[in-house]
């Protein structure tokens, strides 16, 4: 992060904690009736958390732009843009499975770079898991922290020793090829977890719990904060072909850096259909 910026982290942390507390209120109160036909309750938690976050951003930084999952983009032509996922892990939340978080990322584009279209810079990130009271933070150039302690990606050097994570989108799942990638990569690693919160998956790469993560079709609010946290923890994030990650690229491959090339090579082979183990025939289990 450039020294021209004051740290946003203390204020962002306060907002994320406040939104996390609000989510926990909904989580506890409505757990029994959740998802038995009334999906509105989930929507109410999503919406209430985003409204709170937007309100706090507006109070502190009234000129900043905000892109939030629930309310879309409010664009005032600011040099700063917030990416807000007020509840990442909605399906978990709705079923009472305590894996979800609040995600807030901040991007900056210096005015002199606007006309050249030069890439913007992700400058600050906060992801708060209210179920474990874990606050992940990062500022560009200043490292990544978990509850104030520096975190690093893992040192696992090979895929065969790795634990990875992935996710499947909730929309258009029938068009998502990820089950093939899930299957192949499961065969070549210690396993692939699918916990249901992309932002937390990225934090778990940053803190060395996972060695890597990939997902197709994530949105900018899912990744803006987590990608900076991974990078500041010493990890690497790219597209599937190894080119630089972009918020709108809808391709996310994150790792500790050490096994990144091996992971990308795995994707290359699967995309090309080379050496792909067929999915087992379920009828085999009867024998
Ligand atoms: C979802 C979660 C999930 C991922 C989906 C996302 P949401 O976000 O991050 O892990 O697999 O692709 O849409 O809908 O819970 O905010
Ligand atoms: Ca999300
Ligand atoms: Ca969400």
Domain 3-150, CATH number (from 3.50.80.10, 3.50.50.60, 3.30.540.10, 3.40.50.620): 3.30.540.10
Q: What percent of the chain has pLDDT over 90?
A: 76
88 Cβ closer than 6 Å to some ligand 1 atom: yes
Q: Which of 267, 20, 246 is nearest to 129 (CA)?
A: 20
CA 180 to ligand 2 center in whole angstroms: 22
What's the pTM value of the predicted model, to 2 decimals? 0.93
Residue 258 has pLDDT above 60, yes or no: yes
DSSP 172: S
- Fold annotation for 159-272: D-Maltodextrin-Binding Protein; domain 2 (3.40.190)
Tens digits of residue pLDDT in 82-112: 999 999 999 899 889 999 999 999 999 877 6
Tens digits of residue pLDDT in 26-56: 998 865 444 434 444 457 899 999 999 999 9
Q: Where are the domains of the chain?
A: 3-150, 159-272
CA 170 to ligand 2 center in whole angstroms: 10
Please state at what angle helix 178-187 crosses helix 260-272, rounded to 10 degrees. Answer: 120
178 Cβ closer than 6 Å to some ligand 1 atom: no
222 Cβ closer than 6 Å to some ligand 1 atom: yes
pLDDT attached to residue 39: 43
CA separation for the pair 211, 207 (Å, rounded): 9
Ligand nearest to the Cα of 197, by number:
1
pLDDT attached to residue 176: 77
Hey, whose CA ends up nearest to atom 8 of ligand 1?
88
CA 159 to ligand 3 center in whole angstroms: 30
Ligand 1 atom with least separation from CA of 85: 16
Q: List phi, psi (to 5°) of 271.
A: -60, -35
């Amino acid at each position: 992060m450039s020294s021209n910026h004051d740290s946003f982290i203390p204020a962002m942390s306060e907002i994320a904690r406040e939104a996390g507390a609000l989510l926990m209120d909904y989580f506890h109160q409505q757990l029994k009736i959740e998802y038995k036909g009334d999906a509105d309750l989930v929507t109410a938690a999503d919406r209430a958390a985003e409204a709170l976050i937007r309100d706090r951003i507006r109070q502190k930084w009234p000129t900043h732009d905000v892109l939030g999952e629930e309310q879309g983009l409010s664009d005032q032509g600011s040099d700063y843009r917030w990416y807000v996922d007020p509840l990442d892990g909605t399906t978990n939340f709705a079923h009472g499975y305590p894996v979800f978080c609040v995600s807030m990322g901040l991007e900056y584009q210096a005015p002199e770079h606007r006309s050249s279209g030069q890439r913007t810079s992700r400058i600050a990130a906060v992801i708060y898991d209210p179920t474990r009271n874990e606050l992940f933070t990062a500022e560009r150039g200043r490292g990544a922290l978990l509850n104030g302690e520096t975190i690093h990606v893992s040192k696992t050097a090979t895929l065969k020793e790795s634990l990875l994570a992935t996710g499947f989108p909730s929309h258009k799942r029938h068009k998502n090829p990820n089950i093939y990638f899930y299957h192949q990569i499961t065969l070549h690693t210690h396993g692939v977890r699918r916990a249901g919160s992309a932002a937390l998956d990225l934090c778990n790469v940053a803190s060395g719990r996972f060695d890597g993560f990939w997902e197709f079709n994530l949105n900018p609010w899912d990744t803006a904060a987590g990608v900076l946290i991974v990078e500041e923890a010493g990890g690497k994030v790219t597209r599937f072909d190894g080119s630089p990650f972009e918020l709108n690229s809808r391709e996310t491959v994150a790792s500790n850096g050490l096994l990144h090339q091996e992971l990308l090579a795995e994707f290359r082979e699967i995309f090309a259909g080379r050496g792909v183990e067929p999915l087992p025939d379920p009828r085999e289990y009867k024998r």
